[in-house]
Structure 1
Amino acid sequence: MLGRTYDSQVCSIARALEIVGERWSLLIVRDALFAGVTRFTDHQHNLGIAPNVLKSRLDTLLAAGLMERRLYSASPEQYEYVLTDKGRDLAPALVALTEWGDRWASPGEPPILYRHKTCGAEVRQEIVCDECGPIDPGDVGVRPGAGMPAEYLANRRPRRTS
């Protein structure tokens, strides 16, 4: 079984999974982003999630800075959980996961369609080259970036050519 951290991985995907890789976390963010859910009881009702699990996931999202807790009632004291800019920046990833799920994991037609609020046109996620525009995912390669630790580069195994 995988742990909660991926210390041996030099990868931003692994770092992101440490925060939102548990399925409830992404569903909480999904409901906050696209349905405007902010209250604990609404998340619990909509997702059918146990209160202790929901509290744990919200605490993780709060600690990571994806959500913030705001007082909405002083008497009785009640809070809502609101996405931050960091949390809202997950929208493209969720749209991409939806498109993948529609293609490979749904039994029929897409259950949810994303639309631009201003004009009503369909919204989709693409991989875009700065020079060529939209490209096929199979045409994406990788190379070390500026954040790659030098010691990792020194210990890399050469790629096979055959």
Structure 2
Amino acid sequence: MASRIRLEDRECPLSTTVQHVGEWWTLLILHDAFDGYTRFDQFQQSLNISTSMLTTRLKTLVADGLLERRPYQTNPVRHEYVLTERGRSLRPVVVALAAWGNQHLAPEERAMILVDARTGEEAEPVVVDARTGRSLDDSEMYVFTAGPAASEAMRARYTELERRRPEPDPSASE
């Protein structure tokens, strides 16, 4: 896929992540892989995707290190596509996207829900800070800032944003 990333966003982790997984079919293929699909025909049947599009997407996912292509049969040679550790680490992102979608639907309109495999009870996914356990959805509590590898342009962006940000409420940290 041709890069759609703007030159000034090359260092932005959001822009580079979207470059890897922002294409429609990519997320659906990864979702199927999280459900245990590994073979070309499984993906094709599940997604009703053209052979050429699936071939292109799988090659990209392998090149990006999200899937590994392995032979499972020798005569004729057939390959399966298995999630790598890097690919598996995207599962919480896909879960969060699905949860966001379900959040905007009535319960009876949800075609897919996340449940506890042991109890069958519906889960309510949230993204939390591993250190504190607090939800990261509060944009006043958690903000982005320039990291150690930030360019001068990135540092200037976050310096400006910080200057415009209201003073934090000390009582909010309780």
Matched position secondary structure for 1:137: coil
TM-superposed deviation, 1:3: 4.8
Matched position secondary structure for 1:61: helix
TM-superposed deviation, 1:24: 0.1
Q: How does 1:117-156 map to 2 (within 5 A)?
A: 117-118=117-118, 120-129=120-129, 130-131=131-132, 133-134=134-135, 136-139=137-140, 140-154=142-156
Q: How many Å separate the matches in 2 of 1:85 and 1:21?
A: 19
- Cα RMSD (Å) of the superposition? 2.7
Matched position secondary structure for 2:8: coil
TM-superposed deviation, 1:143: 1.3
Matched position secondary structure for 2:7: coil
Alignment deviations for residues 90-116 of structure 1 (CA, whole Å, 9 cap, x no partner): 111111100111123679432212223
Normalising by structure 1, we get a TM-score of 0.83
Runs (5+) with no aligned partner, structure 1: none
- 2:129 maps to 1:109: no
The total of aligned residue pairs comes to 160
Query: Which residue of structure 1 aligns with residue 56 of structure 2?
Result: 56
Q: How many Å separate the matches in 1 of 2:111 and 2:157?
A: 46
Runs (5+) with no aligned partner, structure 2: 166-174
Bigger relative contact order, structure 1 or 2, given CA contacts below 8 A and separation 6+? 1
Q: How many Å separate the matches in 1 of 2:69 and 2:133?
A: 42
Deviates more, 1:55-64 or 1:132-141: 132-141
Structure 2 vs 1, CA of residues 126 and 153 (structure 1 numbering), >3 Å: closer, same or farther? Answer: same
CA contact (8 A) 2:96 2:127 kept: no
Matched position secondary structure for 2:32: helix
Structure 2 vs 1, CA of residues 89 and 161 (structure 1 numbering), >3 Å: closer, same or farther? Answer: closer
Structure 2 vs 1, CA of residues 29 and 132 (structure 1 numbering), >3 Å: closer, same or farther? Answer: closer
Where in structure 1 do 4 or more consecutive aligned residues deviate above 4 Å?
Answer: 105-108, 118-121, 154-157, 159-162
